[in-house]
Amino acid sequence: MYVKKCAKLLIRLILAIAPIQAFGHEPANPVTQPSFRQFDESEAAAISQEIKAFGNVRVSARRAIAIAERRGAGAKVVDLSFDGTTDRPVYRVKVFWNEELWEGKVDASTGVPVDDGSTTHASKLGEEDKTALAAFAAAALDLSEAVAIAEKYGSGKAVSAGLQFDGAKLALLVVIVSKGSLKEISVEPGEGRSRPRKTSVRREK
């Protein structure tokens, strides 16, 4: 059986790798109809270039998560995003471990951490972030598993992933690249052992 935990999926096409509604960002409701932003030519070109850069990396999102979680036993990645605008494409990651949030980079070609990053103690985080972390700690799914689910159901490769918490419900949002386009997939962790189910799909017209 591919997944032993129940999860609910919402798949929708998006048009940018710009930050998704994830940990540290304003919450949004993943089950409402998404709105689509219009991009000018320069923005569209930048997005295309970013997707192209991602197509050449050797390190997958799941591997980058595993590397980042080597910081210590119990370390969990809560946010990951690909950045292909630098000389060395990287994954920017946020890892929660030992009551601290570490932010750093993992080289997308070698898997080697790029620098020492920076650390923020949990006591200095905002209340929304603290609540989201608590919900994530109690969830039946981690980010790597959510990425695996999203990649299977979206038939693509994850380029970013993070937490979304609206005060009552936690969702793990994953953006994948599939056939040259981007899809945002919301995986809602839950109890049980049934397979995840796709609740709705919206495609660009």
CATH code at 80? 3.10.450.40
Q: Is the model's pLDDT at 102 over the cut of 80?
A: yes
Question: What is the C-alpha radius of gyration for the chain, rounded to an integer number of angstroms?
Answer: 16
Q: Quick one: pLDDT at residue 139? A: 87
162-201 pLDDT, tens per residue? 998 887 888 899 999 988 888 889 898 864 333 333 333 3
The domain tally of the chain equals: 1
| Separation between Cα atoms, residue 156 and residue 84, nearest integer Å | 18
Q: Quick one: pLDDT at residue 42? A: 66
| Separation between Cα atoms, residue 60 and residue 156, nearest integer Å | 11
In a domain, 142, yes or no: yes
Q: Which residue range forms the structural domain that includes residue 125?
A: 7-202
In a domain, 29, yes or no: yes
Higher pLDDT, residue 134 or 199? 134
How many CA within 13 A on the CB side of residue 203? 4
Q: Quick one: pLDDT at residue 14? A: 47
- CA distances 62 to 49, 67, 142, 146, Å, are 22, 9, 11, 10
- CA distances 77 to 51, 146, 162, Å, are 23, 12, 8
- The answer to whether the beta carbons of residues 188 and 196 sit under 8 Å apart is no
Confidence category of residue 43, pLDDT binned at 50, 70, 90? low
Tokens of 141: 């799914």
- In our burial notation (b when 16+ CB lie closer than 10 A, e otherwise), range 117-128 reads beeeeeeebeeb
Helix (H, G, I), strand (E, B), or coil: what is residue 182?
strand
10-41 pLDDT, tens per residue? 655 544 444 333 333 333 333 333 334 445 66
| Separation between Cα atoms, residue 94 and residue 35, nearest integer Å | 27
Neighbours of 103 (CB within 10 A): 14
- pLDDT, average across residues 89-109: 94
Q: Quick one: pLDDT at residue 182? A: 85
The mean pLDDT of the chain is 76
In a domain, 177, yes or no: yes
In a domain, 129, yes or no: yes
In a domain, 192, yes or no: yes
- pLDDT, average across residues 131-138: 90
In a domain, 60, yes or no: yes
In a domain, 2, yes or no: no
